[in-house]
Chains A and B, each alone.
Chain A
Amino acid sequence: MSRSIPSVRALAVRKRGPGKVTLRLQVNGEEYAVLAEPRRTLLDVLRKDLGLTGAKKVCDRGHCGACTVLVDGIPIYSCLKLAIECEGKRIETIEGLSFPDGLHPLQKAFIEHDAFQCGFCTPGQIMSLKALFDRNPHPSADEIRSAVAGNLCRCGAYAKILRAAQAVSEAHAKG
């Protein structure tokens, strides 16, 4: 059943699209050159080509937020963005969040307040919150809720996600 040599018929079936092109991406401060088709989403490039599997593929159509990454500081659903559109932009993923000497305060707070159960939505939740805290270090509860309103958590850890983010906000308020 397995075939190592493509049959003659294979040549008859035309390939779709222009084929792979070189994409230059800046992810978590590092430069990458990736050979991928232009139709490939940023999420697929991050996960498959760069091995950064923190961003998750859940719905693949912008309904759930599990693939949230930051592009030039703005949280986006990376399943709705083609990687080729992100050339020359600054891409941040959950893998780039930890400081060299430890966890980001949001990551610490998520652990301390148990802000997840299965954890599959967690990278997306944290990236949405990171975008919020980067522009507003002391957000209100409503601002926090609104920032993650597009991030589904099927386990329902919302109360603890809110608490974790509030703890970071309060720590910032105290300076």
Chain B
Amino acid sequence: MPRIVRTKVEFEGEVRERMAVVEEDHITPWGSGTPLRIVGRSYPRTGGVEVVTGKATYTADVQLPGMLYCRIMRSPHPHAEIASIDYVKAESMSGVRAVLCHANAPGIRWFGDSLLFDRILRYEGEEVAAVAADDEEIADGALSLIRVRYRELPFVVEAEEAMKPGAVQIHPGGNIVGGPDGEVYRRGNVREGFAKADLVVEERYETPAAVHNCLEPHCCVAMWAGDELVLWDSTQHVYGIRNEVAATLGLPLNKVRVISEFIGGGFGCKQGVGKHEIIAALLAKMTGRPVKLALSRRAENLAGGVRHPTIQYLKAGVRRDGTLMALQLRSIANIGAYGMGGSEVGGPIRELYRCPNVLTEQIAIHTNLGPATAFRAPGYMEGMYGLESMMDQIARGLGIDPLQFRLLNYAEKDPMRGVSYSSKHLDKAYRTGASIIGWESRPGGQNAGARRRGFGMASQVWGGGGGPPAYAIVRLNADGTADVLTGTQDIGTGTKTVLSQIAAEELGFKVEDVRVTIGDSRAGPYAPVSAGSMTVPSMGPAVRAAARSAREQLLNLAADLLRVLATELSVKEGKIKSTARPREVAVGEITGRIGDFMIIGQGARGPNPSDAKVRTFGAQFAEVEVDVETGDVTVLRVAAVHDFGRVINPLTLGNQVEGGIVQGTGFALMEERIVDSPTGKALNANLEAYKVPTMLDVPSIESHPIDLPDEICNSIGAKGAGEPPIIPTAPAIANAVFDATGIRIRSLPITRDKLLEEIRRNAAF
């Protein structure tokens, strides 16, 4: 029976108590002693054949009869008012079916007081007009016929400039989100902590604006079937899009269907509804034809979301024996004109180490830049770079090994609430990583010569516990196969594969007899956003519960048919076995005999533990080579040891870890959206000048997940693995660069120009 629970759910560092309807009876978690046949083994990815043959249909590949193509005209200015717009010529061009702009669009509220098509344009790349035409070439031609007269306004793109009194105001409420000190967290008294410290260090760190650059851009196809809207959408949240689109357009929830079967990357920027979905839906309504809208690569870089750049003022106080006494952070996040707020940059400072006195102030600032959105481990990745760079600096200052220094300040309990962790194996991660990289035997000190080797390490903490609400259905077919139905989505993480393993395990079926249907809001029940490393720990238990219900129903019916007690029966590899009788019966034999009656199991994710904090942990160790003549940094090796609880599929998990390290390497060494302050325009809004790692930039990666089930966090013992691997890479590399050269770069990315400048100024070279 459904019941309501209150439970704490953590999402990207923010803990919220929420109410959720659950219906799961308590299910005994799979413990370390539970014999499992399928969970924990490597299975190739479900849908792999479609992908490698080019047959997988991503939203970008959807083509419908009569489909129109939409192109968007975007603001060339960082801040301007549309004085006039003339689209008559464009509208009357042959093959153009509709034009939308502020002059004719419905007044849909978008952000605060602004509109979907607003007269005021607040960043370079903001939507000015949209054209739907028979083809993209025609739509592009039509855009060039739209005449817009802009009244340019003063603008501000630097966060610290935007904070000053008298700065250009981007929204009526001012540029500073919340109070002047932003979001404040306090424990103990930092002033007293610093007074008791023997060494106090203050530094300023900067992290860049990193662009997700998912290879599949934000993209959708909108089609009206009568009064119902069908929306193919490249999204991380099928149900969220359904709800937001329905609310924006004033439609009942059952008249919007969102489909997202294959998704070409998300990384955080496809969590919520964007203007493009609404524009496509409006144009499809106006024309009576399906409309496809895919952002160009340039638009993707200007308007598709960005990891907000940060400035971090970090202060740490430590006693001579290495005891951390106080940590203080003031972080400033540049969230652009329409960012919803800053992320949890202070997260690592608050919770990684046992430190009695902590103060974090997280400030978010509006500027005339494109909207900041979540990007894989938002906040924690940026904050960890500052914190772990400083820990390295302090350890060296005290003459303590950086790893030893971290162990000295190890938090056995959650420093924020004083509660126990559901599980924590960070100490083991430190030891294992150190042994893989050869930490103890690494050459000490800086070597001479042009090419210098160095070692560095950094820690990781992140949520990844997931939680309710998350629901699934398992249906058994007459031939003994099973369908798993849920409204989740697979953004490339392997969700589908992992869920089929969990269902097969619980059902006692072969994994090939289980099909998982996701990515369609009409096919399966509600599932949460695929973000915050929460898909596996939320959906896994829901699927397990649904499978268990289906298995119990199956065994009850089998018991009746076989005239035995249900408690004597079990299912293994698709066969029903009885302890009382030697003969095995194939599941299909039982489901075949019940005719077209369909066994349907429902499952819900249960509540989170109330008395334990659920966290993922890990450590990465990097070995780099720095060419002090060219400023080139080559990452040679990364050892990654993370604790995600139980590993469901080592193959796909390894891929996640390696991918996180590759993206982390990009963040450390090359990725940065560059904005020219005098003009307020981005200089590298493309994949040539915005550098993402290639095959030639990849280090040798050794990943050894801890793989111990967390028997408290949920019924499958697994936590999320999407975000943790990206968190410690950049500080581990930065610390290794210091080890190699004695130069500490406090502004990412560590590019040649920054290194060479420091080398030039440093007398030691």
B57 at the interface (CB under 8 A from A): yes
Partner of B658, one of A12, A107, A159: A159
Q: Which residue of A lies closest to B42 (CB)?
A: A114
B588 at the interface (CB under 8 A from A): no
Partner of B49, one of A66, A111, A149: A111
B44 touches A156 (CB 8 A): no
Partner of A53, one of B57, B288, B694: B57
Return the CB mask of A143-167 against B: 1 if under 8 Å, else 0: 0011011111111111111100000
Q: How far is the CB of B682 from chain A (nearest CB, A)?
A: 15
A135 at the interface (CB under 8 A from B): no
User: Known: A98-B53, A110-B52, A117-B655. Is A58-B215 also a contact (CB below 8 A)?
Assistant: yes
Which of chain B's residues 59-100 have a Cβ closer than 8 Å to chain A? 60-61, 63, 88-89, 92-94, 97-98
B265 touches A60 (CB 8 A): no
B428 at the interface (CB under 8 A from A): no
Q: How far is the CB of A143 from chain B (nearest CB, A)?
A: 12
A1 at the interface (CB under 8 A from B): yes
Q: Which of B7-15, B114-122, B251-259, B489-497 contacts A (4 or more CB under 8 A)?
A: B489-497
Interface centre among A7, A9, A57, A110 (most CB of B within 10 A): A57
A80 at the interface (CB under 8 A from B): no
| A79 CA / B692 CA spacing, docked (Å) | 20
A117 touches B493 (CB 8 A): yes
List the A side residues contacting B686 at CB < 8 Å. Answer: 59, 61, 63
Q: Which residue of B lies closest to A119 (CB)?
A: B51
B586 at the interface (CB under 8 A from A): no
List the A side residues contacting B296 at CB < 8 Å. Answer: 60
| A44 CA / B217 CA spacing, docked (Å) | 16
User: Known: A6-B92, A119-B56. Is A58-B696 also a contact (CB below 8 A)?
Assistant: no
A54 at the interface (CB under 8 A from B): yes
A169 at the interface (CB under 8 A from B): no
A152 touches B694 (CB 8 A): yes
B687 touches A159 (CB 8 A): no
Q: Which residue of A lies closest to B664 (CB)?
A: A156
B698 touches A10 (CB 8 A): no
Q: How far is the CB of A2 from chain B (nearest CB, A)?
A: 5
List the A side residues contacting B57 at CB < 8 Å. Answer: 53
A149 touches B88 (CB 8 A): no
A156 touches B660 (CB 8 A): yes
| A148 CA / B695 CA spacing, docked (Å) | 7
Which of chain B's residues 668-709 have a Cβ closer than 8 Å to chain A? 686-688, 692-696, 698, 701
Return the CB mask of B647-659 against A: 1 if under 8 Å, else 0: 0000110111011
List the B side residues contacting A94 at CB < 8 Å. Answer: 52-54
A56 at the interface (CB under 8 A from B): yes
| A103 CA / B51 CA spacing, docked (Å) | 12
Interface residues on B, range: 35 or more
A119 touches B492 (CB 8 A): yes
Which of chain A's residues 96-113 have a Cβ closer than 8 Å to chain B? 97-98, 103, 106-107, 110-112
B213 at the interface (CB under 8 A from A): yes
Q: How far is the CB of A139 from chain B (nearest CB, A)?
A: 13
Q: How far is the CB of B135 from chain A (nearest CB, A)?
A: 8
User: Known: A1-B286, A154-B213. Is A111-B45 also a contact (CB below 8 A)?
Assistant: yes
A13 touches B297 (CB 8 A): no
Partner of B688, one of A63, A98, A126, A151: A63
User: Known: A58-B297, A156-B693. Is A111-B48 also a contact (CB below 8 A)?
Assistant: yes
List the A side residues contacting B265 at CB < 8 Å. Answer: 117-118, 120, 154-155
Which of chain A's residues 1-60 have a Cβ closer than 8 Å to chain B? 1-3, 6-7, 9-10, 12-13, 15-16, 37, 39-40, 44, 47-48, 51-60
Interface centre among A39, A61, A64, A120 (most CB of B within 10 A): A120
List the B side residues contacting A93 at CB < 8 Å. Answer: 54
List the B side residues contacting A107 at CB < 8 Å. Answer: 49, 52-53
List the A side residues contacting B661 at CB < 8 Å. Answer: 156
Which of chain A's residues 109-141 have a Cβ closer than 8 Å to chain B? 110-112, 114, 116-123, 126
| A55 CA / B58 CA spacing, docked (Å) | 12
List the A side residues contacting B45 at CB < 8 Å. Answer: 111, 114, 116
B31 at the interface (CB under 8 A from A): no
B701 touches A119 (CB 8 A): no
| A66 CA / B60 CA spacing, docked (Å) | 13
List 30 contacting pairs A-B, 8 Å CB cutoff, sorted by A: A1-B286, A2-B286, A2-B287, A10-B94, A13-B93, A37-B137, A40-B137, A44-B136, A52-B54, A53-B61, A57-B294, A58-B687, A94-B52, A107-B52, A112-B44, A114-B651, A114-B655, A116-B45, A119-B47, A119-B492, A120-B215, A145-B696, A152-B694, A153-B695, A154-B212, A154-B215, A154-B267, A155-B655, A158-B658, A162-B695
> B residues touching A (Cβ–Cβ < 8 Å)?
44-45, 47-49, 51-58, 60-61, 63, 88-89, 92-94, 97-98, 104, 135-137, 141, 145, 212-217, 262-265, 267, 286-288, 294, 296-297, 491-494, 651-652, 654-656, 658-663, 686-688, 692-696, 698, 701
| Nearest 5 pairs of A and B residues by beta carbon | A54-B54, A156-B662, A118-B492, A120-B264, A119-B51
Given A1-B286, A54-B53, 15 other A-B residues pairs in contact with their CB atoms under 8 A: A2-B287, A53-B63, A59-B687, A60-B297, A107-B52, A111-B45, A114-B651, A114-B652, A118-B491, A119-B492, A120-B265, A122-B52, A152-B687, A154-B213, A161-B695
